[in-house]
């Protein structure tokens, strides 16, 4: 995980202010570096003034999780003066797993892509052709990356700047203009500017050509300001890339299988081939994300490497269970479970005489979390599971609310705040810990040292886990169900992953999403819908020995996998939104809706 800041100015170097630098360091506490580049615009840009200098400022912070040492950024090539700020995890390049530091490999791939043609001095025509080839080769490099990323890359050879997020939007990157017209690109909203920041679109890789007219008023007098409309986009496409100058990129996510069953599909069971294939695909995705995680900085709490954002629900508990099969048995896995004091809910319970448990232990996610913790102990007794109960008093929620709102910007609704609060306090990982093994049975104060946070996000969209999926099937059958899933998957990159990344990364931890691995998503999308959920699929005949009673149709393949792995209780757990499970929603009295904008 890294923090990125970039600015483009004609009025000297533009740096982030102190607050933004602090937030960037929170994301990447292992390294902080600044690099500036000065260059002149093409001659003749203006008839009224000489060609001005433009200044490119790059700032990078680093959370080191790949390789055997810290690789400080920005990366600068001494030969070409090209620059890379990279915030991502390239798990594979061109289908080959990346064993060492991925940033170095990506940078070398970019440098190779922009390398000029060999031979004698190039003619103007051949130079233009090679620039087009460089754009094509850059697009090819990016298309071959498997993993989450955002980046800013300056191609000093061909005078171009590239910036992007991956097509699923798993890493944050925002852009905006300040009052002086300077372009800023940053992992978080840069508070030194009151100008609105927008999420960088996930529709492709964005390119600025410094040899083109990229500045407003470039042909007239007055201050020079950047023109956002001059940014070109290399879009993701499912078809083969074109040969035009404005290149396209191969989309790593395939089109969804929209086939309708011919008749009634066969029943789904724990022994169905699709459940076995699902287990293998999810295990492979998980292995990339939790194997070879480096030791965290020395702490007094023990060097736990991997933690799970743990509500006790199906998706996160499956990740915990499969992590047990991947990691060495001597590694503790932290289960981070957050519960909030909600004064509105507490008052209602007191009025009804129902306050038998504490405000924290009565939270739905706390109860399911403890039940899933017990089931993991039963199924995997040779693993030390550490249940971290993170209790957040109402006063503490209020004290941190401005910081949460600051981090989630430009998102600004009541629902954003409810979800972000839960993620923010869970990622701080401060609570009372109870180990499943060892002599102590008393909870103790604890802060997890794990820098990797596993999240179950994406499972609901891929496997029809929302109530509206059932509504769509009831209304329009398989066609309606397929259309609803397709809508969910197609807008993943435009939803809330950037917000979640800004929140979860603020404590120097990196969220990882096994359900959103490109290869896993591709496998699920190619499968017919009746192999993912149970809508329209008949129950097993009477007398079948496998107990599948009470297994819901939503995410049925995942539920059967949990049953296969011995977790019968988790397999039957109902879907619950994080803001209701942790009780961050509707803390104050009033008639607010989730879509209401914050004041």
CA distances from 121 to 124, 131, 155, 440 (A): 10, 15, 20, 74
Three-state secondary-structure class, residue 174: strand
Q: For 119, which DSSP code?
A: S
The answer to whether 507 is a known catalytic residue is no
Sign of CA dihedral 82, 162, 224, 13: negative
Contact 387, 335 (CB under 8 A): yes
Peptide bond into 362 cis (omega under 30): no
Token couple for 595: 């879509």
- 514 by Cβ neighbours in 10 Å (0-12 / 13-18 / 19+) ranks as buried
Tell me which H or E stretch contains 431: strand 430-435
- The neighbouring-strand residues paired with 233 are 206
The total number of residues written for the chain in this structure: 599
**End-to-end CA separation in angstroms for the chain:** 31
Q: Where are the alpha helices (DSSP H) in 215-332?
A: 273-290, 314-326
Tokens 């879907």 sit at which residue?
Answer: 575
Q: What span, in angstroms and rounded, lies between the C-alpha atoms of 421 and 20?
A: 20
Helix/strand/coil percent split, the chain, to 5: 35, 20, 45
Q: Which of 432, 425, 427 has the alpha carbon at shortest distance from 446? A: 432
CB-CB neighbours of 300 under 10 Å: 7
| Rounded Cα–Cα distance for residues 89 and 100 (Å) | 11
Cα(402)–Cα(598) distance, rounded to whole angstroms? 11
From the DSSP assignment, how many helices (H) and strands (E) are in the chain?
A: 16, 25
Which residues participate in catalysis according to the annotation?
2
């Amino acid at each position: 995980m890294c923090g990125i800041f970039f600015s483009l100015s004609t009025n000297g170097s533009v740096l982030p202010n102190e607050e933004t630098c602090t937030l960037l360091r929170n994301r990447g506490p292992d390294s902080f570096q600044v690099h500036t580049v000065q260059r002149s615009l093409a001659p003749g840009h203006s008839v009224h003034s000489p060609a001005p200098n433009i200044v490119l400022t790059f700032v990078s912070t680093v959370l080191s999780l790949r390789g055997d040492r810290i690789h400080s950024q920005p990366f600068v090539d001494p030969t070409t003066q090209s620059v890379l700020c990279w915030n991502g995890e390239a798990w594979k390049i061109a289908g080959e797993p990346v064993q060492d530091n991925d940033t170095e490999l990506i940078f070398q791939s970019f440098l190779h892509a922009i390398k000029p043609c060999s031979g004698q001095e190039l003619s103007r025509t051949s130079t233009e052709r090679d620039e087009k080839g460089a754009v094509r080769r850059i697009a090819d490099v990016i298309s071959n990356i498997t993993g989450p990323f955002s980046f800013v890359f300056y191609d000093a050879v061909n005078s171009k700047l590239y910036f992007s997020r991956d097509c699923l939007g798993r890493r944050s990157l925002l852009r905006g203009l300040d009052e002086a017209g300077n372009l800023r690109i940053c992992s978080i909203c840069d508070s030194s500017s009151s100008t609105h920041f927008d999420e960088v679109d996930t529709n492709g890789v964005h390119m600025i050509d410094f040899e083109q007219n990229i500045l407003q008023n470039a042909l007239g007098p007055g201050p020079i300001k950047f023109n956002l409309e001059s940014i070109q986009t290399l879009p993701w496409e499912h078809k083969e890339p074109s040969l035009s100058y404005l290149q396209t990129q191969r989309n790593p996510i395939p089109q969804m299988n929209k086939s309708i069953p011919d008749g009634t599909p066969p029943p789904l069971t724990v022994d169905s081939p699709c459940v076995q294939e699902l287990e293998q695909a999810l295990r492979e995705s998980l292995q990339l994300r939790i194997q070879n995680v480096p030791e965290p900085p020395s702490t007094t709490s023990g060097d736990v490497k991997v933690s799970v954002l743990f509500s006790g629900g199906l998706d996160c508990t499956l990740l915990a269970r499969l992590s047990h099969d991947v990691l060495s048995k001597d590694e503790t896995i932290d289960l981070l479970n957050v519960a909030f004091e909600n004064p509105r809910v507490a008052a209602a319970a007191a009025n009804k005489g129902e306050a038998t448990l504490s405000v924290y232990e009565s939270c739905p996610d706390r109860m399911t979390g403890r039940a899933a913790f017990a089931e993991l102990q039963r199924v995997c007794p040779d693993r030390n599971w550490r249940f971290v109960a993170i209790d957040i008093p109402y006063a503490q929620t209020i004290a941190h609310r401005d910081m949460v709102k600051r981090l989630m910007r430009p998102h600004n609704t009541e629902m954003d705040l409810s979800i972000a609060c839960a993620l923010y306090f869970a990622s701080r990982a401060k609570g009372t810990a109870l180990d499943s093994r060892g002599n102590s049975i008393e909870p103790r104060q604890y802060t997890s040292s794990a820098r990797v946070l596993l999240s179950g996000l994406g499972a609901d969209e891929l496997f029809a886990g929302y109530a509206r999926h059932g509504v769509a099937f009831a209304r329009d059958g398989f066609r309606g169900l397929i259309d609803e899933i397709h809508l969910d998957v197609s807008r993943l990159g435009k939803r809330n992953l950037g917000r979640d990344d800004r929140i979860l990364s603020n404590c120097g931890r990196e969220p990882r999403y096994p359900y959103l691995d490109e290869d896993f998503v591709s496998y699920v999308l190619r499968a017919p819908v009746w192999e993912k959920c149970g809508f329209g699929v008949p129950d097993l005949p009477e007398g079948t020995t496998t107990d599948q009673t009470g297994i819901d149709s939503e995410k049925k393949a995942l539920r059967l996998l949990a049953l296969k792995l011995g977790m019968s209780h988790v397999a039957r757990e109902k879907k619950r939104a994080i803001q209701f499970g942790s009780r961050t929603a509707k803390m104050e009295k009033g008639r607010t809706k989730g879509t209401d904008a914050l004041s």
